[in-house]
Amino acid sequence: MKEQLVDRYLGGDHRQGIYAVAYFDSPDWGEDTAGRRRCRRRDLEANRDLFARQAEEVTLEGDAEVSAFVLDCSV
């Protein structure tokens, strides 16, 4: 989050950002699909909690104010 958002895009007068994450989980994916394996590691709420904590940590570092948003793109 710090490298992808803060370090690349939030400099100068631009000190606030939104870290957007798309969460995909499709019943059509086979068990051997890499996307499904990665997706199954954490459910939607666990991902929301994880990224919210990361955004809070980045914000507390003082370089920028970041909010995280996890969009449920499940089919």
35-62 confidence digits (pLDDT tens): 556 556 788 999 999 999 999 999 999 9
Whether the CB-CB separation of 55 and 67 falls below 8 Å is answered with: yes
Whether the CB-CB separation of 56 and 32 falls below 8 Å is answered with: no
Q: What is the model's pTM?
A: 0.78
Tens-digit pLDDT profile for residues 19-36: 999 988 777 766 666 655
The reported pLDDT for the residue numbered 57 is 96
CA separation for the pair 44, 33 (Å, rounded) = 18
**Structural element, H or E, at residue 18:** strand 16-23
The reported pLDDT for the residue numbered 34 is 64
- Phi/psi for 74 (5° steps) reads -65, 145
